């Protein structure tokens, strides 16, 4: 790893920066800006100034952003057209037979990103066996003219069975690129995998966000170059870093960029705190607008190819993350039945929570934490933002009146409990609902607000250990410094293992391996993993298993049966079918070696803080002055510029050698 490296993660409220200068870690937090690149460069300049270097001395720049996910959530992406096979114009609308809510007859699916009038058909025909009817290029040119006249800003092409035989789709894409001056996303390039709806949806998402990603990454690259900073390397949703040109061509890879970086950072920094816990880690990232939870098992980040954003399927590999709309800026409100609710609406960074003093008046989770004493009025978020305690009390007093509660403190306790309940449910969804016992996991808390809520959430789940990494307030940015470079490729190959020719399968893996190694920066240093998606005959979904360097049908069947037994508790005496071949190439990066040398008087003072069993005069500590080995008994509040750790009365916290805080239930 280079000696001077920077990682920048853009969130809904703040932009987080970690700068490593010859083993010394410098962190910064600045407000996010409408043009995210402005906040990114401001954060880099702030961190460099604190480290005593100029931006042009930075040797490597890694970045995670929210451009694509914002475009999907806000439906503000490009005006997109879809070209598909005749008779398949309505795949996006038909989708799958499942409804968003099984017993709600009025439940509605989100509107397709491409309205029906911008979906065009071409009279080609491809089957799993080959091309039955070639493309009529004159017809495609007529479609291109209609797309041009409609003013589309991007085009998605998804033809029937193009994953198996892409010749027709390839020619359609070539003609459209010749005729149109807009980006064209072809499904065999985006996701060469069967399942028409998911493949089409993923391709449409890629096209929909591609102009925004291209503009943003291009603009950021120019701004960075003007400051002498290297071209950004971008975090993908799969938890790996890639170059800027790759994501400009494959924009869908960035859909969960920031949250993925946080999980990678948690895995890299917190594992040593859970040595005695066989199951692994639950990662808990609470930021300004939402909270993300995920699992790390056996040292590996959990990934999925069955993800979605706003109920729109995305089939490319993603870090498996569950998101709830409960963050520090989430607004508390009372529903029609008189129940207290949190989010999903957020105050964001503009106007922000009431206590920011930027014009916000609605009560948020951050305002509740201030009223409860977890944050002090003298606390400066990000090292520079002072808080208005009176504004927070006023906002909570209004909420208390509406909810019939006894004053702002009671309302703040309610907001805190409801927010914790939302996040507890999210953790149950990635543990209990998948057959894992959360009590066997350690909880890793990070994000600007995560460490304030983590111990109470752990109490709710009977978890007995919480790890707060040193860079917890900016851990997604820190994860960018630790993330490996990664490239994925997939090809559908549907056969019963009894009928598979191992040489054919090895040939597919060889082609996929050549593809990913051609896209990675250092192929000579890349580790290549081959996996297969397998299922029993008649099943609808698959499990992925490692198949080693040479494909063996019998060995693959045995590994699948073992994985099926772990996942579902049983194995079947049924034929096993191969569905997809997958290859991942990884160039490992060393986890940053960060020095931690605490010194000085750690005690900052005391203040009243409200916990479940009463109000305590609570010691407040400066985190960067707590030495390794120090144990602090709860109740306690431990502050740093980017986040605050809250320790209830029944818990203790120990400072690990690397500066991480390990909280455990105190001795009775």
Cα separation, 313 vs 202, in Å, equals 6
Token digits for 111?
């509107």
Q: Do domains 4-72+214-254 and 261-327+419-482 have the same CATH topology?
A: yes
Cα separation, 405 vs 369, in Å, equals 17
- Burial group, residue 16, by CB count within 10 angstroms (0-12, 13-18, 19+): buried
**Domain-wise residue ranges, the chain:** 4-72+214-254, 79-200, 261-327+419-482, 330-418, 487-587, 603-665
Cα distances (angstroms) measured from residue 75 to each of 54, 319, 419, 538: 38, 23, 26, 37
Residue 235's nearest CA partner among 31, 3, 349, 69 is 69
Cα separation, 660 vs 638, in Å, equals 12
Is the Cα dihedral 596, 598, 604, 610 positive or negative? Answer: positive
- Determine which helix (DSSP H) or strand (DSSP E) holds 663, and give its type and residue range: strand 661-665
Provide the 3-class DSSP secondary structure of residue 268. helix
Cα separation, 558 vs 479, in Å, equals 36
Q: What average pLDDT does the chain have? A: 90
DSSP 382-405: TTTEE--HHHHHHHHHHHHHHHT-
Q: Backbone phi, then psi, for 174, in 5-degree steps? A: -60, -45
pLDDT tens digits along 84-117: 999 999 999 998 877 667 777 777 788 999 999 9
Is the Cα dihedral 148, 153, 154, 155 positive or negative? Answer: negative
pLDDT tens digits along 621-636: 999 899 998 999 989 9
Contact 447, 258 (CB under 8 A): no
Strand pairing class (380-381; 385-386): antiparallel
Question: What's the rounded mean pLDDT across residues 169-189?
Answer: 97
Cα separation, 87 vs 376, in Å, equals 62
- Cα angle, residue 596 at apex, residues 41 and 267 outer, rounded to 5°: 70
* CATH classification (class only), 487-587: alpha beta
Residue 645 has pLDDT above 70, yes or no: yes
Token digits for 323?
């998101």
Distant-in-sequence, close-in-space partners of 306: CB < 8 Å, separation ≥ 6: 313, 315, 541
- Cα angle, residue 56 at apex, residues 55 and 61 outer, rounded to 5°: 70
Token digits for 377?
């009025």
pLDDT tens digits along 363-374: 999 999 999 999
Provide the 3-class DSSP secondary structure of residue 610. strand
Cα distances (angstroms) measured from residue 584 to each of 161, 289, 471: 23, 32, 29
Lowest mean pLDDT: which of 91-100, 278-287, 589-598?
Answer: 589-598
Cα separation, 382 vs 626, in Å, equals 20
Looking at per-residue pLDDT, the higher value among 83 and 312 belongs to: 83
Question: What's the rounded mean pLDDT across residues 116-133?
Answer: 95
Cα separation, 512 vs 529, in Å, equals 11
DSSP-derived secondary structure letter, 52 = T
Question: What's the rounded mean pLDDT across residues 230-255?
Answer: 95
Distant-in-sequence, close-in-space partners of 525: CB < 8 Å, separation ≥ 6: 587, 588
pLDDT tens digits along 507-533: 999 999 999 999 998 999 999 999 999
Q: What is 4-72+214-254's CATH number? A: 3.30.420.40
Q: What is the dihedral of CA 249, 250, 256, 257, to 10 degrees?
A: -40
Report the share of the chain in percent with pLDDT over 70: 96
Token digits for 588?
């490992």
Q: Residue 191 — left, alpha, or beta (φ > 0 → left; ψ -120 to 50 → alpha)?
A: beta
Contact 80, 155 (CB under 8 A): yes
Residue 438's nearest CA partner among 279, 651, 322 is 279
The CATH architecture assigned to 79-200 reads: 3-Layer(aba) Sandwich (3.40)
The CATH architecture assigned to 261-327+419-482 reads: 2-Layer Sandwich (3.30)
Residue 273 has pLDDT above 60, yes or no: no
pLDDT tens digits along 299-312: 788 899 888 888 89
Residue 81's nearest CA partner among 164, 12, 184, 181 is 184
Contact 173, 159 (CB under 8 A): no
Token digits for 107?
């439940």
Cα separation, 201 vs 179, in Å, equals 24
Residue 4's nearest CA partner among 23, 20, 25 is 20
Cα separation, 316 vs 257, in Å, equals 13
pLDDT tens digits along 145-164: 999 999 999 999 999 999 99
Token digits for 352?
């922000």
pLDDT tens digits along 463-482: 999 999 988 888 889 999 98
Provide the 3-class DSSP secondary structure of residue 249. helix
Predicted TM-score of the model (pTM)? 0.87
Report the share of the chain in percent with pLDDT over 90: 69
pLDDT tier, 2 (very low <50, low <70, confident <90, very high otherwise):
low
């Amino acid at each position: 790893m280079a000696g001077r490296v920077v990682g920048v993660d853009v969130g809904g409220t703040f932009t987080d920066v970690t700068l490593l200068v010859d083993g010394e870690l410098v962190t910064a937090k600045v407000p996010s800006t409408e043009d995210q690149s402005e906040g990114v460069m401001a954060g880099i300049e702030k961190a460099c100034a604190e480290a005593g270097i100029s931006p042009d001395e930075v040797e490597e720049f890694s970045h995670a952003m929210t451009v694509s996910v914002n475009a999907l959530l806000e439906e503000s992406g490009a005006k997109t057209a879809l070209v598909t096979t005749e008779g398949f114009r309505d795949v996006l609308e038909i989708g799958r037979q499942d409804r968003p809510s099984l017993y709600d007859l009025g439940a509605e699916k989100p509107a397709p990103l491409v309205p029906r009038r911008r979906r065009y058909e071409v009279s080609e025909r491809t089957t799993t066996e080959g091309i039955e009817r070639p493309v009529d290029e004159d017809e495609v040119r007529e479609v291109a003219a209609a797309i041009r006249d409609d003013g589309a800003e991007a085009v998605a092409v998804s033809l029937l069975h193009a994953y198996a035989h892409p010749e027709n789709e390839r020619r359609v894409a070539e003609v459209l690129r010749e005729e149109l001056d807009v980006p064209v996303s072809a499904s065999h390039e985006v996701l060469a995998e069967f399942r028409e709806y998911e493949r089409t949806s993923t391709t449409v998402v890629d096209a929909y966000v591609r102009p925004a990603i291209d503009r943003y990454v291009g603009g950021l690259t120019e701004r960075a170059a003007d400051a002498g900073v290297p071209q950004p390397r971008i975090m993908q949703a799969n938890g790996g870093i890639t170059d800027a040109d790759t994501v400009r061509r494959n924009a869908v890879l960035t859909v969960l960029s920031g949250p993925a970086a946080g999980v990678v950072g948690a895995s890299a920094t917190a594992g040593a705190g859970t040595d005695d816990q066989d199951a692994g880690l639950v990662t808990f990232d609470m930021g300004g607008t939402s909270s993300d939870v995920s699992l790390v098992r056996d040292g590996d980040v959990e990934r999925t190819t069955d993800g979605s954003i706003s109920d729109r399927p995305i089939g490319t590999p993603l870090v498996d993350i569950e998101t709830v709309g409960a963050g520090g800026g989430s607004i508390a409100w009372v529903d029609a039945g008189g129940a207290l609710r949190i989010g999903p609406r957020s105050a964001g960074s503009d106007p922000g929570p009431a206590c920011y003093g930027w014009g916000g008046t609605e009560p948020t989770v951050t305002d509740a934490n201030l009223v409860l004493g977890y944050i002090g009025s003298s606390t400066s978020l990000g090292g520079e933002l002072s808080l208005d305690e009176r504004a927070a009390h006023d906002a909570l007093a209004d909420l208390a009146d509406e909810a019939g509660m006894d004053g702002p403190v009671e309302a703040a306790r309610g907001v805190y409990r409801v927010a914790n309940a939302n996040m507890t449910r999210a953790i149950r969804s990635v543990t209990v609902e998948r057959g894992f016992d959360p009590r066997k996991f350690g909880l890793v808390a990070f994000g600007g607000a995560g460490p304030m809520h983590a111990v109470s959430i752990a109490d709710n789940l009977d978890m007995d250990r919480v790890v707060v990494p040193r860079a917890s307030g900016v851990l997604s940015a820190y994860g960018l410094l630790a993330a490996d470079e990664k490239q994925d490729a997939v090809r559908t190959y549907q056969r019963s293992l009894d009928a598979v020719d191992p040489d054919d399968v090895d040939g597919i893996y060889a082609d996929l391996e050549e593809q990913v190694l051609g896209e990675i920066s250092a192929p000579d240093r890349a580790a290549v993993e081959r996996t297969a998606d397998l299922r029993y005959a008649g099943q609808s979904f698959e499990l992925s298993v490692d198949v080693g360097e040479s494909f063996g049908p019998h060995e693959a069947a045995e590994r699948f049966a073992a994985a099926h037994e772990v996942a579902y508790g049983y194995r079947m005496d049924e034929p096993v079918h191969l569905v997809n071949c997958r290859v991942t190439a990884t160039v490992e990066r060393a986890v940053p070696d960060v020095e931690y040398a605490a010194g000085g008087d750690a005690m900052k003072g005391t203040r009243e803080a409200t916990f479940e069993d009463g109000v305590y005069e609570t010691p407040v500590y400066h985190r960067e002055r707590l030495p390794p080995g120090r144990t602090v008994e709860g109740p306690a509040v431990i502050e740093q510029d980017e986040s605050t750790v809250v320790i209830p009365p029944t818990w203790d916290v120990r400072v690990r050698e690397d500066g991480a805080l390990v909280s455990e239930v105190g001795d009775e």
